[in-house]
Amino acid sequence: MSVEPVTGMASDGGRSAMMWRRGLRALIITVFSLLLVIYVAGPVAWLVSSSLQSESDITAVPPNWLPPKVTFDNFEAIFAPPKREVTYETRRQGDPATGRFLPSGAENLLPSLWNSFAVGMAVAILNLVVSMTAAYAIAVIHFKGRRAALYTILVTRVIPDIALIVPLFLVMRQLDLVNTRFALVVTYLAVTVPFTIFILISYFEQIPRDLYRAARADGCSHWQALRFVYLPLSLPALVASVMFAFLTSWNEFIFALILTQNITSQTLPIIISGFVMDFTTSFSFINAAGVIAIVPPVVLAMMFERYIVSGLTAGAVKG
Amino acid sequence: MARIRLDGITKRYGSVTALQRLDLDIRDREFMVFLGPSGCGKTTTLNIIAGLEEISDGDIWFDDRRVTFIPPHQREIAMVFQSYALYPQKSVYENIAFGLRLRKVDEATIDAKVRAAASQLEIEHLLDRKPQQLSGGQRQRVALGRALVRQPTVFLMDEPLSNLDAALRVSMRALIKKLHIAMGTTFVYVTHDQAEALTLADRITVMRDGVVQQLDTPDAIYNRPANRFVAGFLGSPQMNFVEGEIAEGPDGPAFARGALRIPVDPAVAAGQGGRKVVLGLRAEDAVIAEGGPLKGQVALISPLGSEQHVHVATGDSELVVRAPKDQRVALGETIALAFDPARLHLFDAANDQRLGPQT
């Protein structure tokens, strides 16, 4: 009796100290998680919020985190622009402070959205077709020079893009491809294909070699082995490469700036950056354009998210 | 159905030579087993027959068709792997049907063949499952089914039973033997398990370091091993080896080591006095018997239920002999061993080759 309370107290003290420590750890994790969320989602939230405000509400001090008065004027200006030209003389009629301000070039926004989308889809699809066949060849077929091929492909990515711009522009001009979406597709493929090949090679190499042997013995040509065995088992990597290629193309600025000079081929980043003008800059309008710019990638990500799963090869070989 | 001929096959990986001028003639409908330790080139040879490995030199023939440069999918082979290698995204049914679908066989025929194979392998109730829901033995049956539904020229198996537990291995062995009889196809089977090789094979090719050591029937390989390696690789417990020399005596030639004298077959050793040799003695070829020529102390007894293995220390070497389970021996006891001179094996100590008639 005289000993037990002592040990009891000691263990109680230990337990409460442990719980306190555990609580502290949970608190720290929560705080940092929240900070991370704010860091990542904050700008997007502000983008969406400000696209629904008038210019005067945006520029108010202190800023309005939520729109005091929700307005769709900015989106209306994009999708149903008022039929008038905004010039130096007439710009006062479209006073940014009152909203419905239309920068010159605003009518290019929707065509450029289409350009971006077309280029992005072409890059995503062609990137996959080229990369998966190349990766299969390097990962699966033990041909002579496969290592050299792999290193050559990777080395091309060591060169900074900026060093390639002038030569690329000259080549494209010589080929009469400046101001075409095709030029952008070809250029972006040069950026995405090496990375995608690299990702797919490491994925293909994880697929048990015996599955390849089984497929060939069953009667698959190389093409059929790729189609029926490697691709179905690589879905997550394929989806990731589609996303990667599309986003790279969607966000690319510097090549597009140099290689395209009119609306037949200019992409969204180029047009939006053009809205920053000498005399007036309508932040609310730019932010509305920004919201439109993030919609396609988000939709794409949501569509493909469920394919990014692991464990596809479970049950293939012993285990 | 085909005779398979390997003609001077050489396989090099960079500077490493895996196979050196391998000649092999596998008869039509034969059950051929490649036996050897890992790295001996047996799987490489199998892959070469399948067309999955390019060869550095030589030719392969299926009957009169030269297939050296024919890709695997046009060779009409079927293959079963140690790892089962089932397509994880496909159901059991689709795994088995896959080879037929690639050949554009009509749906009714596919269905009939898949169900027939499944019933033969007793996996009909598993047809809708995915491979990861199956046990190892079930997976291997599916893999067999995948090969079974086609009419392959040759049935290739790469250690198909090595991942299964012992009891299952024995029953699957019997199943494979039955399949061979039922299909009437040439089987080539790779294993490192000598018991599998002896039970299944019509003929066994024993390989080591890319070189064929002996190619013969299981009986010949077991009873007349061509060299010390083959002798040691087959048989459990391993054959006993004792180094010594041939001594000519008044009673004919004998194996001599120190004071030990064991009479040997004159047909093998006559006139070879002084030659350095290795004596080979299988555990089951010696009996513990009063008055035997070889004496020693019992060093260890391993009871196995149906029999016992007795380790006998004689001079500086230790022999393992097989004894009936009811024979009473005690540790440390001095016993005598007797054996039939005709059952002894003699190998040249210099090159490990068998002395006397080879076959």
Domain harbouring B135, CATH code: 3.40.50.300
A145 at B interface, C-beta within 8 A: no
Confidence of residue A148 (pLDDT cuts 50, 70, 90): very high
Looking at CA atoms only, how far is residue B69 from chain A in angstroms? 14
b/e sequence A198-217, b meaning 16+ C-beta within 10 Å: bbbbebbeebbebbbbbbbb
Asked if residue B357 belongs to a domain, the reply is no
User: What confidence score (pLDDT) does residue A100 get?
Assistant: 54
Same domain for B24 and B147: yes
Strand-pair category, B211-216 with B240-249: unpaired
CATH superfamily of A106-318: MetI-like (1.10.3720.10)
Domain range for B32 is 4-232
Q: Taking CB atoms and an 8 Å cutoff, what residues of chain A touch B136?
A: 318
pLDDT at residue B121 greater than cutoff 80: yes
Same domain for B155 and B11: yes
Subunit contact A214:B72, Cβ cutoff 8 A: no
Confidence of residue A98 (pLDDT cuts 50, 70, 90): very low
Looking at CA atoms only, how far is residue A232 from chain B in angstroms? 7
Q: Which range is least confidently modeled, A305-309, B213-217, B308-312?
A: A305-309
Taking one residue from A and the other from B, the number of pairs with CB-CB distance under 8 angstroms is 91
What is the percent of chain A where pLDDT is above 70? 84
Q: What is the pLDDT of residues A169-192, one digit of tens each?
A: 999 999 999 999 999 999 999 999
Q: Across the beta sheet with B57-62, what order do the strands follow?
A: B16-26, B4-13, B57-62, B65-66
Phi and psi (nearest 5°) for B175?
-60, -45
Residue from the list A216, A221, A312 with its beta carbon closest to the beta carbon of B89: A312
Asked if residue B359 belongs to a domain, the reply is no
pLDDT at residue A86 greater than cutoff 60: no
What is the percent of chain B where pLDDT is above 70? 99
Same domain for B245 and B228: no
Same domain for B18 and B157: yes
pLDDT at residue B10 greater than cutoff 90: yes
Residue range A281-300: average pLDDT? 87
Subunit contact A213:B50, Cβ cutoff 8 A: yes
Smallest CA-to-CA distance from B24 within B151, B191, B272, B207 is with: B207
Confidence of residue A92 (pLDDT cuts 50, 70, 90): low
User: What confidence score (pLDDT) does residue A306 get?
Assistant: 78
Asked if residue B356 belongs to a domain, the reply is no
Query: Among B195, B212, B232, where does a domain finish?
Result: B232
CB B318 within 8 A of CB B311: yes
- CA quadruple A136, A141, A147, A152: dihedral sign: negative
Same domain for B330 and B226: no
Same domain for B129 and B25: yes
CB B141 within 8 A of CB B121: yes
Helical spans, DSSP H, in B135-256: 136-148, 166-183, 194-200, 218-223, 228-233
Which residue in chain B is spatially nearest to A220 when comparing CA positions?
B73
**Alpha-carbon distances, residue B288 vs B163, B294, B344 (angstroms):** 38, 10, 16
Same domain for B303 and B172: no
CB B111 within 8 A of CB B59: no
B306 at A interface, C-beta within 8 A: no
Looking at CA atoms only, how far is residue B21 from chain A in angstroms? 22
Rounded Cα–Cα distance for residues B197 and B218 (Å): 8
Same domain for B326 and B199: no
Same domain for B43 and B165: yes
User: What confidence score (pLDDT) does residue A319 get?
Assistant: 47
CB B26 within 8 A of CB B5: yes
**Alpha-carbon distances, residue B84 vs B1, B50, B127 (angstroms):** 23, 17, 16
Domain harbouring B319, CATH code: 2.40.50.140
pLDDT at residue A96 greater than cutoff 60: no
Rounded Cα–Cα distance for residues B177 and B168 (Å): 14
Q: What is the pLDDT of residues B131-161, one digit of tens each?
A: 999 999 999 999 999 999 988 989 999 999 9
Confidence of residue A72 (pLDDT cuts 50, 70, 90): confident
A223 at B interface, C-beta within 8 A: no
User: What confidence score (pLDDT) does residue A226 get?
Assistant: 96
Residue range B65-75: average pLDDT? 93
Q: Taking CB atoms and an 8 Å cutoff, what residues of chain A touch B79?
A: 213-214, 217
Residue from the list A217, A228, A315 with its beta carbon closest to the beta carbon of B88: A315
Query: Among B232, B265, B289, where does a domain finish?
Result: B232
Q: Is B122 left (phi over 0), alpha (psi -120 to 50) or beta?
A: left
Residue B156 identity? L
Confidence of residue A13 (pLDDT cuts 50, 70, 90): low
Q: What is the pLDDT of residues A232-273, one digit of tens each?
A: 999 889 998 999 999 999 999 999 999 998 888 899 999 888
Residue from the list B72, B86, B133 with its beta carbon closest to the beta carbon of A316: B86
Higher pLDDT, B270 or B223: B223
Same domain for B175 and B128: yes
Rounded Cα–Cα distance for residues A205 and A71 (Å): 53
Confidence of residue A97 (pLDDT cuts 50, 70, 90): very low
Place of tokens 């597009």: A256
B137 at A interface, C-beta within 8 A: no
User: What confidence score (pLDDT) does residue B207 get?
Assistant: 95
Subunit contact A217:B79, Cβ cutoff 8 A: yes
CB A94 within 8 A of CB A86: yes
Q: Taking CB atoms and an 8 Å cutoff, what residues of chain B touch A316?
A: 83-88, 131
User: What confidence score (pLDDT) does residue B342 get?
Assistant: 83
Confidence of residue B271 (pLDDT cuts 50, 70, 90): confident
Confidence of residue B260 (pLDDT cuts 50, 70, 90): confident
Place of tokens 């491979």: B131
Mean confidence (pLDDT) of chain B: 91
Same domain for B250 and B203: no
Mapping DSSP onto H, E and C, the string for chain A reads CCCHHHHHHHHHHHHHHHHHHHHHHHHHHHHHHHHHHHHHHHHHHHHHHHHCCCHHHHCCCCCCCCCCCCCCHHHHHHHCCCCCCCCCCCHHHHCHHHCCCCCCCHHHHHHHHHHHHHHHHHHHHHHHHHHHHHHHHHHHCCCCCHHHHHHHHHHCCCCCHHHHHHHHHHHHHHCCCCCCHHHHHHHHHHHHHHHHHHHHHHHHHHCCHHHHHHHHHHCCCHHHHHHHHHHHHCHHHHHHHHHHHHHHHHHCCHHHHHHCCCCCCCCHHHHHHCCCCCCCCCHHHHHHHHHHHHHHHHHHHHHHHHHCCCCCCCCCCCC
Subunit contact A214:B79, Cβ cutoff 8 A: yes
A69 at B interface, C-beta within 8 A: no
B104 at A interface, C-beta within 8 A: no
Rounded Cα–Cα distance for residues A37 and A316 (Å): 39
Rounded Cα–Cα distance for residues A307 and A309 (Å): 6
Smallest CA-to-CA distance from A47 within A280, A272, A305 is with: A272
Query: Among B217, B232, B247, where does a domain finish?
Result: B232
Rounded Cα–Cα distance for residues B36 and B17 (Å): 17
Whole-model pTM: value is 0.83
Residue range A58-79: average pLDDT? 81
Q: Taking CB atoms and an 8 Å cutoff, what residues of chain A touch B139?
A: 315
Phi and psi (nearest 5°) for A275?
-75, -15
User: What confidence score (pLDDT) does residue A63 get?
Assistant: 81
ipTM reported for the complex surpasses 0.85: yes
Asked if residue B280 belongs to a domain, the reply is yes
| Chain B interface mutation, best of A207, A218, A220, highest count of B Cβ atoms under 10 Å | A218
Which residue in chain A is spatially nearest to B150 when comparing CA positions?
A218
Smallest CA-to-CA distance from B285 within B257, B323, B254, B317 is with: B323
Same domain for B331 and B278: yes
Q: Taking CB atoms and an 8 Å cutoff, what residues of chain B touch A314?
A: 88, 132
